[in-house]
Each structure stands twice: as C-alpha cells, then as structure tokens.
Structure 1
Amino acid sequence: MDLYRMTKRLIEKYRLRPRKRLGQHFLVDEKIANYIVALARPRSNYPIIEIGAGLGALTRPLSKYGNMLIAIELDRRLIPALVEVIRDIHNIQVILADFLKLEFMGRFSSIVSNLPYYITSHILFKLLELDFEVAVLALQKEYGYRLMAKPGTEHYSRITVMVNLLADVKARKVITRRAFYPRPEVDSIVIEMRKRKLKLKTEDLEFFKSIVTGLFTYRRKRVTKALKYFLSKSSLNVDAERILSEARIGAESRVYWLSVDDFIRLAEAIKQTIGSNLHMVP
C-alpha cells in the first residue's frame, strides 16, 4: 500500500481530523519521504530524533538504519495509528510530549521533522540547543529562504543571523503542496543543517541575540541611528559612532546589510566599551 492510501486508511480507521491549530499536514508522497530519510542517514550509532512523528510516514523508514529512534508526537489522537504502523519494529521509542518542553542529554546522529509552520521558529531554536550531526527539516518554503538569505536581500532577518551563527544551512529540495494531506496553502522546502563551531561562548548568546533583535527592530534604518535607539533603550550611555568604528562597520550601512561576523564584532565592541569583554572563541 502506498503512503497516500495508507494515510487515508489510518485517518478513516481512527476517525482522525487533521487539526489546523497544530499545523497538521501529513506527508503522503513516498518519494519525498524516502528522499528525506536518505538525507538523514546517520554516520554514527547515536540516536535519531523525529519531531512530530504523526502517522509514521518518516518513522518507519528511519528505523531501517538500526539506530535508536526517538519518535516525539504531541497529538494523543495519533498515537494508536502510529503504533499500528511501527508495531513490528523494536528500535523505536514513542514519546507523547511537546518537544519544546522536553530536556535532552547526549549526542544525536540525526534530527528529522516536517515542521508545523505556525511554530517553526520555536522548534528550530530549541533544536539548535541540541548536540547533533545533521538535521533534515521540511518547512515552509518562504521561511526556508529566510534562513539562507544573504545580507542586503529581501528575506534577510534576525532569524537568518541567529540560525547562521549556529548552523550551516543548505536547501535540498522544494516540495509542492501536493505532497501533503490536507494540502497546505504554500509549498515547502527540505533543508539540511549542520552545527557550526561557535565563534561565541554559550554564555554570550543571549547578549548577542538581544543586539540582533534590537537592531532588526529598525531593519532598514542606518545602523548608526538603529544602534543609538538600541543603546538608549538599553540604558547604555556609550558613543554609537565609536562602537561602529571599533567594529569596522560603516556608519551609513543599513541594519539588514550586516553579516553574522559584523554582528559578532559589534557585540564585542559594545561589551568592551561597557567594560565586560565578550568571550570569543579563537
């Protein structure tokens, strides 16, 4: 039985109605499922995490690698159907839980998910806190383009900066809305992420994030003006022009022109000026 017919059968058998508030669009294209699973092939024996196992479109094929597979699902209604799909497989642990509320320890070989559009950012940043080798994610196409946008372009945003500080992101394949049931209103994209070596120490991430978030409030303004607003709101009585000079950033630059490295130098210059050095990794 192909994936589409299996999904329809499970929905009818268990009287399931996909919940819009949970962003439920089940993957029903078997070729796409196999493509995602192939990209997520583990290079080690560490466990695999699947976020949002749903009706098992990815769960069952992921189990073939033999790694322990932690399949997380938030919707209690789907669990009986999921258990049916994987009933003869013994290397899968199903967890009924909200991924955002779980605590994880140790290293993971792969993280795989068809991310619900409405909560993509929250899951993405939680995921990036984990120690993993590769993450393969299907997400809204426009959101995926934001993750890979270049400085100075339309889609470049604070999300772009924060994600690219932490990971190398590559587009792998556009998925049409026909690959899902029920069909979403937009197409999706498969991305591959691998963690970067941090140029900051972990304890400085929140400070860095506050600068990026604060400046992107004034995304198209000159960075001099945006920085003055940010420093004023933060009650920091320091010279914006001096900080930009020390960070080697042109005063006429716009906020959305700044690269990840520009923001790192800017954070360093601010903390040096206020007398607390940002911990940099050589």
Structure 2
Amino acid sequence: MTDLPPLREVIARHGLTASKALGQNFLLDEQLLSRIAALPGNLTGKAVLEIGPGPGGLTRALLRAGARVTAVEMDRRCLPALAELEAAFPGQLRVVEGDAMKIGHDDLMGEPYAVVANLPYNVGTALFVRWLGGEHWPPRWTSLTLMFQQEVAQRIVAAPGSSAYGRLAVLAGWRSAAALAMKVHRSAFTPPPKVMSAIVHVTPAAMPDGVSARTLERVTEAAFGQRRKMLRQSLKGLPGAVEALETLGIEPTRRAETLSVAEFVAVARVLAD
C-alpha cells in the first residue's frame, strides 16, 4: 500500500509543472512531508481536509499516517496522479475537483476534521481568514496546520508592539492559539519560491462572550487600515469606536499595533453593546 513511486517520477510521468497562476510550489521531500503530517498529532482514522494537494506529496504522507483525506484540487492536470493514490489507499482518499474558496468545507466533510495543507500562496490568507472568522464557534475543524510564506506566518503569530502585528494576529489570537510549528527552506520546493515558508499550527479556544467575529473584523480593519495614525484618527470612521476607547480607558493617542488582542476584543464588545 505504501510502496509508491518517487514523487519526481510521478510528476514527470504526468507532465506536471507548478503553475504560477495557481500559486503552486511542489514539495517533494518525503521525510519533510512526513514531519508535516505528524504536526497535528495522531491522525489514524481521523478526517483531514487538504487544500491544493497538487501531485499528492503531502497527501501520501497523510494517508500513510492513517488519515481519511478529502483533497480539494482545482487543477485538473493533477487529478490522474491523485487517482493513483486513491487506488493505492482504497477507501482512504476522496478527491474533490473544485475551488476551495467556493466550497462549504463543513458540509463537504460532514464531521469534525483537521485541516492540513500546503496552501496555494494566492488563496492562503483568504482561506485562513475564512476559517478563523466564522460566527459559529467552536468550529467543526479541530486544528489547522497550514503552510504560508514565512512573512504571512510571522504576521499570524506576531505579538503586540511588533512590526508584523496586525489583523491576522488579532484574528488568530482572540479565540484560538496559533504557533509557528516549522520553517521550510525555499530549496525544499520545486520550483523554489523566491521567499521562505513556514507552517502555522492553530487550535480553537473558548470564544469571548459578547462579541462577534464581524464586529472585531470591522474594528481591526479600521485600526490597521491606517496603522501609523493614532487610534482617534484611524477609528473615527467607525461609529462609536472612539467613544469605546474612552469607556475602556484606552488612550486614543495610541496606535493600533500597541493594543493587545484582549483590548481589541473589549472595544468590539462595547460596540456590540
């Protein structure tokens, strides 16, 4: 079942090349792929959603780890290679052709699931915001193990006061725990991207009472939309926001990057009230 041809052979046989338009970079190091598949913990018998499997490098690592994988792929060129994995792991892999941005992931999976993906660079952030920004909490996903450009990964795990701290860090921190799990050198990919990559591991936490995802998003959009300005300037276009700062005793001359996640949540809670 696990006696598979090398990934380079599979790619050559199917004439596959990474598409810049689809944000693809193929990861071929099978030892590295196995390490990535181990990050969520024991996957034996567990449902896993993979976005953008490409020729199936990470997919085969997940299957070897015992996961039941649903792989969403919009590049039809990769489907024959993935079909070979379906045959090699009967009943363990389901391939869905389509755009992950247009598919309801919870409906597709129908049960709690982990997300493990070497995300296409052009949709990675949008998918992350979607998974973290839903109004229903706790989510159906049990963890997110996601490959990003290293700069994006650092923005997700950034601490207040740092230059990387912004909307993504607040979104990741208000009701989940995000950690930088592994850095991946550009040379591990084919073709090598121009930037380094990193994997972020996210697990859901308790949701604070009295605040919605949409309200928090509105606050962070306004605050970080003009991050070099004082909050009294950046938030003045959001009705009630400056008054919320005064209610909470937050100095309006501060800048967005100095506010903690808890302070952003508090502002959003006052606005909701």
Q: TM-score with structure 1 length normalisation?
A: 0.85
Output the CA distance in 1 between the equivalents of 2:191 and 2:241: 54
In structure 2, the partner of 1:274 is none
Contact 1:45–1:109, Cα closer than 8 Å, also in 2: no
CA shift, 1:199, in A, is 1.0
Contact 2:156–2:178, Cα closer than 8 Å, also in 1: yes
Q: TM-score with structure 2 length normalisation?
A: 0.87
Range moving further from structure 2, 37-46 or 158-167: 37-46
Please give the residue correspondences for 1:32-47 in structure 2 after superposition, counting only pairs within 5 Å. Answer: 32-42=32-42, 45-47=45-47
In structure 2, the partner of 1:244 is 245
Distance 1:119 1:245, change over 3 A: same
Distance 1:198 1:223, change over 3 A: same
Paired residue for 1:214, among 211, 214, 222?
222
Residue identity matched to 1:173: M
Output the CA distance in 1 between the equivalents of 2:172 and 2:118: 18
Please give the residue correspondences for 1:40-189 in structure 2 after superposition, counting only pairs within 5 Å. Answer: 40-42=40-42, 45-90=45-90, 91-103=92-104, 104-105=106-107, 106-128=110-132, 129=134, 130-189=139-198
Output the CA distance in 1 between the equivalents of 2:223 and 2:145: 30
CA shift, 1:224, in A, is 1.8
CA shift, 1:123, in A, is 1.3
Output the CA distance in 2 between the equivalents of 1:239 and 1:138: 35
CA shift, 1:170, in A, is 0.6
Residue identity matched to 1:159: L
Residue identity matched to 1:194: T
Output the CA distance in 2 between the equivalents of 1:21 and 1:214: 31
Unaligned runs of 5+ in 2: none
Contact 2:101–2:127, Cα closer than 8 Å, also in 1: yes
CA shift, 1:46, in A, is 4.3
Secondary structure class of the residue paired with 2:112: strand
In structure 1, the partner of 2:254 is 253
Output the CA distance in 2 between the equivalents of 1:8 and 1:83: 17
Q: Over alpha carbons, which structure has the higher Rg?
A: 1
Residue identity matched to 2:16: L
Distance 1:44 1:11, change over 3 A: closer
Unaligned runs of 5+ in 1: 272-276, 278-282
Output the CA distance in 1 between the equivalents of 2:190 and 2:44: 33
Secondary structure class of the residue paired with 1:9: helix
Secondary structure class of the residue paired with 1:155: coil
Aligned residues: 260
Distance 1:43 1:31, change over 3 A: closer
Residue identity matched to 1:21: A
Secondary structure class of the residue paired with 1:58: helix
Secondary structure class of the residue paired with 1:22: coil
Please give the residue correspondences for 1:265-280 in structure 2 after superposition, counting only pairs within 5 Å. Answer: 265-271=266-272, 277=273
Secondary structure class of the residue paired with 1:225: helix
Residue identity matched to 2:126: H
Determine what percentage of the aligned residue pairs are the same residue: 28
- Give deviations 1:125-146, integer Å, cap 9, x for gaps: 2333442222211111111000
